[in-house]
Structure 1
Amino acid sequence: MALDRIALSHFRNHRQTELGGTAQLNLLVGENGAGKTNILEALSLLAPGRGLRRAALSELAGPDGGGGFQIGASLNEQGHESARIGTFVEPERPGRRLVRINGAEASAQSLGEWLAIGWLTPAMDGLFMDSAGARRRYMDRLALAIDPTHARAVSRFETALRERNKLLEDSRDATWLEAIEAQLAEHGAQVTAGRAALVATLADELTALPDQPFARPILTYRPGGPATREELRAELARHRNRDRAAGRTLTGPHRDELEVVMSGSGQPASSCSTGEQKAMLIAITLAHAALAAEGRPGVLLLDEVAAHLDPVRRAALFERLRIGRAQVWLTGTEPAPFEDILGEAAVWRISRGTAERL
């Protein structure tokens, strides 16, 4: 299956852009600022969540769209349309993102039942040097692409966490705390289970890969609290005084960490070279794409990834993408780095928010 007949209307700098006749490998070339990444961002919004930039809806609408925009695509199987999916914001309701599947209103979460979308962008290059919170969001995004229900558990956990912190601050009666801690423990255990399952399956997938040409990472999930609902609930009750003094909850999935070290050397990813970190990110992205595409169509968005690879790693990347199950979208400022795939890829030149098929 693949996305085709993609249409963007009033989305960022794309007033009206259509992409048809897609392939397994799809390439967008053009100068910086032309709108290549905007197309990838539009495709990322055909999945649950806030897209690859995590931008506010107000930032996504083009200057002449009145605050609204539309993104639509056909999901094709063997050349025949099996579904039409889309997401949009109406000018009269600029703060609400809507979804339609085959013409009927649907939830954003239901998009995950149709497509598994993953991405790698230059903004992610600092993941291993970033905060633990950034790596938790990374785990949750990857988990969501495999299990669309994961987002609901995270959202409910975060809501309950805010409520408990507020109750601690207000020194409310213990009965209130017991009730909210029960919710926090239930949803927290679900979040922990989702993250643990993600890292375990990713680790298995990565173990089967060679150490070269992409440095193979070893992943370890470090939970920030007990894994089971009962244990987490008891831990929260036991440490109320400590948490009240701290002004926040100090136990739970919001304290989780994803530990990454490079296979062979055992060196923490945060201490590795920029090239090694990029190679490990690519390895994780490819492994995740293989997992996410099981049972559902997969789409992989790779923004400016080839330009920073040497010829050996670039050739290895293209070969992995060829044999993968996901439809791939790549961007670059010029065709030269993609010479090995130009004969098989669908290619567009992007310029000032327009797309020309080459």
Structure 2
Amino acid sequence: MPPLALTRLVLNDFRNYTYLKLDTDTRPVVLTGPNGSGKTNLLEAISFLSPGRGLRRARLHDPARQDGDGQWVISANIINQGFEHKVGSGLLRPAGGGPGSEKRTVRIDGVDGKRTSDLGEIFQVSWLTPQMDRLFTDTAGGRRRFLDRLTYGFDPEHAKRTASFEKIMRQRNRLLKEGRMDPHWLNSLEHQMAELAISIIAARGQTIDRLNQAMEEGKNGDKNIVIAFPKALLQLTGALEERIKDMPALMAEDSYKQALENNRKIDAAAGSTTHGPHRSDLGVFHREKDQAAALCSTGEQKALLISIILSNARLQAGLHGKAPVLLLDEITAHLDRFRRCALFDEISRLNMQAWMTGTDEALFAEFADRAQFFTVENGTLTRV
């Protein structure tokens, strides 16, 4: 089976690109060039072809080219299970619409009006950026989004459930803020939130169980990978997780719904929902050292992140016959030659398309002809 791969990327008015058309094959892609040349912008564009706000968590207007009209468009050809799909997304202004009328659009195989969550059924992608080197010491939100993105690969519906939960929660927050304590309306919203919340927690828990099992089995895997990247132990933590631990699903839904009802006055005063899956956290530990990831060195933290990403890729390859596409920004930073070689070998072994950036082409030399190389300078790409 051919790998999941992006074989054509077209950008219009995206960041520093007025127009770009890039054709590739299914091998890994290495993008090198000076800082500020537009390498990360390419990875961000690809990340917008999956559910969510992209690898920079940008506001919808942020990617628009500064000298443009405030709109941007990304389109791509994607090979999935041997079939080619044409997908696109962008911020467009309806004909005759003025400023403020723009909206995010998604097109899949010629059909407009799709949801961003629908992209997850066509294109599974994970990423690591330099900002994520602080993932284990930053806020819970970043770790939760990282876990959710891994979960999308096992359960594409997870993206729709998390989006629906956030939307309904905002409706409830607005009612409470305005003092509109209509019990029938609130009961209906809280019932929907409870059903979604328990499904979200269950999907996250299943992903963690799979990854932990893969880490355990990985101890007997490729020697270089075992030595190069430490094994992680993952845990899902949170007040709601603790509250419903060992409860059957229906009982857990009733318990959370009751908690929402009991907390209405507290949430109204806080201006937010104070209890739920949007407050969950991902705990990560270094197995061999029996130490929280947050207490590990910077190099160890990056190695743990790579270990999790690779374990997820191996799982996806085993379950679906294809690994996700990886976006690895400045991935060679803090990696010595042994770890670089182990990473490149594993990417090749999994027949996985990874898009990698760096300032020094020499740091990717071990890939040789297993990858395709491009230089990026001032928004222009040249095949090496």
TM-score of the aligned structures, taking structure 2 as reference length = 0.85
* Code of the aligned partner of 2:194: A
Partner residue of 1:182? 191
2:80 is equivalent to residue 71 of structure 1: no
User: Which residue of the other structure, out of 130, 135, 144, is the alignment partner of 1:122?
Assistant: 130
Letter in 2 for 1:182: H
CA distance in 2, matches of 1:246, 1:96: 30
What residue is the counterpart of 1:83 in the other structure? 85
Farther-moved stretch of structure 1 (261-270 vs 289-298): 289-298
Distance 2:197 2:30 in 1: 40
Determine whether 1:13 maps to 2:16. Answer: yes
Shift of 1:87: 1.8
Q: Which residue of 1 aligns with 2:249?
A: none
Q: CA deviation at 1:157?
A: 1.7
What does residue 352 of structure 1 align with?
A: 378
Where in structure 2 are the equivalents of 1:1-358 lying within 5 Å?
1=3, 2-76=5-79, 82-92=84-94, 95-105=102-112, 106-169=114-177, 170=179, 172-210=181-219, 212-225=227-240, 226-227=243-244, 228-240=252-264, 243=267, 248-293=272-317, 294-295=319-320, 298-358=324-384
Q: 8 Å contact 1:307–1:337 — kept in the other structure?
A: no
How large is the Cα RMSD of the aligned pairs?
2.4
In the aligned structure 1, how far is the partner of 2:126 from the partner of 2:358?
Answer: 18
- Note the alpha carbon deviations across 1:105-124, whole angstroms, 9 max, x for none: 23322221111111111111
212-221 or 249-258: bigger deviation? 249-258
**Aligned-partner Cα distance in 1 for 2:361–2:204:** 38
- Identify which range, 135-144 or 299-308, moves more after superposition: 135-144
Identity %: 40
1:262 and 1:269 in contact (8 A); partners too: yes
The 1-side partners of 2:57 and 2:233 are apart by: 27
* TM superposition shift of 1:258: 1.0
Q: Give the whole-Å Cα distance in 2 for the aligned partners of 1:77 and 1:265.
A: 39
Residue 12 of structure 1 and its aligned partner are, at CA, apart by 0.8
Q: Is the 2:93–2:103 contact (alpha carbons within 8 Å) kept by the matching residues of 1?
A: no
Q: Look up the SS of the partner of 2:311 in the other structure.
A: helix
Change (3 A) 1:297 1:279: closer
Work out whether residues 50 and 116 of structure 2, in 8 Å CA contact, stay in contact via their aligned partners in 1. yes
Counterpart secondary structure, 1:291 = helix
Task: Say which is worse superposed, 254-263 or 229-238, in terms of deviation.
Answer: 229-238
**Measured at CA, do residues 186 and 81 of structure 1 come closer, stay the same or move farther in structure 2, by a change above 3 Å?**
closer
Letter of the aligned partner of 1:188 in structure 2? A
Deviations 1:59-85 (A, max 9, x none): 11223432222222222479x862222
| Mapped partners of 2:312, 2:129: distance in 1 | 15
- Maintained 8 Å contact 1:206/1:217: yes
Evaluate the alpha carbon distance shift between residue 236 and residue 260 of structure 1 in structure 2; reply closer, same or farther with a 3 A threshold.
same
Letter in 2 for 1:59: D
Alignment check: 8 A CA contact 2:172 2:186 kept: yes
Cα displacement (A) at 1:318 = 0.8
- Paired residue secondary structure (1:39): helix
Letter aligned with residue 301 of structure 1: L
Counterpart Cα distance in 2 of 1:201 and 1:355: 39
Q: Which stretch of structure 1 is more off in the superposition, 102-111 or 35-44?
A: 102-111
After the TM superposition, which of the residue ranges 235-244 and 301-310 deviates more from structure 2?
A: 235-244
Are the aligned partners of 2:120 and 2:159 in contact in 1 as well (CA < 8 Å)? no
Give, in whole Å, the separation in 2 of the partners of 1:20 and 1:155: 32
Q: What is the CA–CA distance in structure 1 between the aligned matches of 2:76 and 2:260, rounded to whole Å?
A: 46
**Are the aligned partners of 1:4 and 1:73 in contact in 2 as well (CA < 8 Å)?**
yes
Q: Which runs of 4+ in 1 moved over 4 A?
A: 91-94, 166-169, 238-248
Name stretches of at least 5 consecutive residues in structure 2 with no aligned partner.
220-225, 245-251
* More displaced stretch, 289-298 vs 47-56: 289-298
Counterpart AA for 1:158: E
Amino acid paired to 1:45: F
From the superposition, tell whether residues 176 and 54 of structure 1 become closer, same or farther in structure 2 (CA, over 3 Å).
same
Residue 28 of structure 1 contacts residue 329 of structure 1 at CA under 8 Å; is this kept in 2?
A: yes
Give 3-state SS (helix, strand or coil) of 1:307's partner. coil
Which sections of structure 1, spanning at least 5 residues, go unmatched? none
In structure 2, distance between residues paired with 1:171 and 1:91: 35
Alignment length, in residue pairs? 357
